């Protein structure tokens, strides 16, 4: 239900925004540097109203960034606890009395802050780096659903779960996987044909570098030290 409600309200928001956007070229070339602020002004014809609306959105973005930093730091801490990343002991350290992975939180916040400064020098470089989040999510979905397809095709038993797709599970998984593969490929495409260096989508380079370095780390170090969460669950059960 959460997905349905969010999707429905998001669709309404997109339609409303597109209806109020007016002259697209005017919005893109706005002196504010942010098209959404220009759209607010076009819709309200009031600087004060547009400022209030933009301020609300900026506050929402700030709070969402806090939740993303919190989530990312917890992921870093979890992987470090499983010895899946370099400097695992330092990232997984929880100072006594804090009950928080301070090192993981500060590292995540610092990296996020430094990455945002790239926009000062090159917007293309920043877009290529931030697009890694999209392709990374798509990759995780593809791997997860691919494993489900493999287990269903090989008649392997699935782990107990609260939600089940029933007999349509395999068909839904295959359709989802095909859709993700198409979107994954398109995510690396440039926005225009015959792009110049400044118009090129360099996210494939960033993605390839991260994937290759992760693979090298796993082969030479991770295979000897990594202990997934399943090992902890089995340890608790025993």
84-107 pLDDT, tens digit each: 888 888 998 888 888 889 999 999
Which whole number is the average pLDDT over 139-143?
Answer: 92
Phi, psi of 196 (to 5 degrees): -85, 180
Which whole number is the average pLDDT over 227-231?
Answer: 65
Instruction: Count how many domains the chain has.
Output: 1
3 state DSSP class of 114: helix
Q: What is the distance between the alpha carbons of residues 115 and 183, in angstroms, rounded to a whole number?
A: 25
Q: What is the distance between the alpha carbons of residues 68 and 105, in angstroms, rounded to a whole number?
A: 11
Residue 104: count other Cβ atoms within 10 Å of its Cβ: 25
Instruction: Look at residue 206 and tell me if it is in a domain.
Output: yes
Instruction: Look at residue 26 and tell me if it is in a domain.
Output: no
* Residue 68 pLDDT greater than 90, yes or no: no
* Residue 83 pLDDT greater than 90, yes or no: no
Instruction: Look at residue 14 and tell me if it is in a domain.
Output: no
Q: What is the distance between the alpha carbons of residues 9 and 13, in angstroms, rounded to a whole number?
A: 6
Calculate helix-pair angle for 123-153, 169-186, nearest 10 degrees: 160
Instruction: Look at residue 31 and tell me if it is in a domain.
Output: no
Express each pLDDT in 204-221 by its tens digit.
888 888 889 888 888 888
The CB-side HSE value for 62 (13 A sphere, CA atoms) comes to: 6
What pLDDT is attached to residue 234?
56
Instruction: Look at residue 21 and tell me if it is in a domain.
Output: no
- 62 to 13, 59, 77, 107, 133: CA distances (angstroms): 20, 5, 23, 18, 18
pTM check: above 0.75: no
Confidence band of 81 (pLDDT split at 50, 70, 90): confident
Instruction: Look at residue 102 and tell me if it is in a domain.
Output: no
* Residue 134 pLDDT greater than 70, yes or no: yes
Instruction: Look at residue 176 and tell me if it is in a domain.
Output: yes
Q: What is the residue whose two structure tokens read 């956007």?
A: 21
What pLDDT is attached to residue 233?
56
Which whole number is the average pLDDT over 137-154?
Answer: 91
Cβ–Cβ under 8 Å, residues 139 and 184: yes
Q: What range defines the domain where residue 146 resides?
A: 122-238
Token pair recorded at residue 200: 């090129």
Q: What's the whole-number average pLDDT of the chain?
A: 85
Instruction: Look at residue 48 and tell me if it is in a domain.
Output: no
The lowest-confidence range among 133-147, 173-187, 200-214 is: 200-214
* Residue 13 pLDDT greater than 60, yes or no: yes
What pLDDT is attached to residue 43?
85
């Amino acid at each position: 239900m959460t997905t349905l409600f969010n999707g429905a309200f998001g669709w309404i928001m997109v339609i409303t925004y597109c209806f109020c956007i007016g002259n697209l070229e005017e919005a893109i070339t706005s002196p504010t540097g942010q098209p959404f602020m220009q759209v607010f002004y076009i819709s309200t014809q009031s600087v004060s109203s547009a400022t209030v609306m933009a301020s609300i959105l900026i506050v929402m973005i700030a709070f969402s960034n806090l939740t993303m930093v919190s989530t990312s730091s917890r992921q870093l801490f979890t992987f470090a606890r499983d010895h899946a990343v370099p400097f695992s002991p330092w990232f997984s350290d929880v100072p006594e009395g804090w009950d928080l992975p301070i090192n993981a939180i500060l590292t995540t916040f610092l990296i996020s802050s430094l990455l945002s400064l790239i926009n000062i020098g090159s917007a293309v470089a920043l877009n290529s780096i931030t697009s890694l989040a999209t392709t990374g999510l798509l990759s995780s979905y593809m791997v997860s659903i691919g494993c489900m397809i493999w287990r269903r095709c090989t008649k392997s038993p699935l782990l107990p779960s609260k939600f089940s797709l029933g007999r349509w599970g395999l068909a839904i998984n295959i359709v989802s996987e095909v859709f993700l593969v198409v979107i994954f490929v398109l995510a690396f495409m440039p926005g225009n044909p015959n792009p110049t260096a400044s118009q090129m989508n360099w996210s494939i380079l960033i993605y390839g570098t991260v994937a290759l370095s992760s693979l090298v780390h796993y082969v030479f170090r991770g295979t000897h030290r990594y202990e997934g969460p399943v090992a902890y669950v089995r340890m608790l059960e025993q």
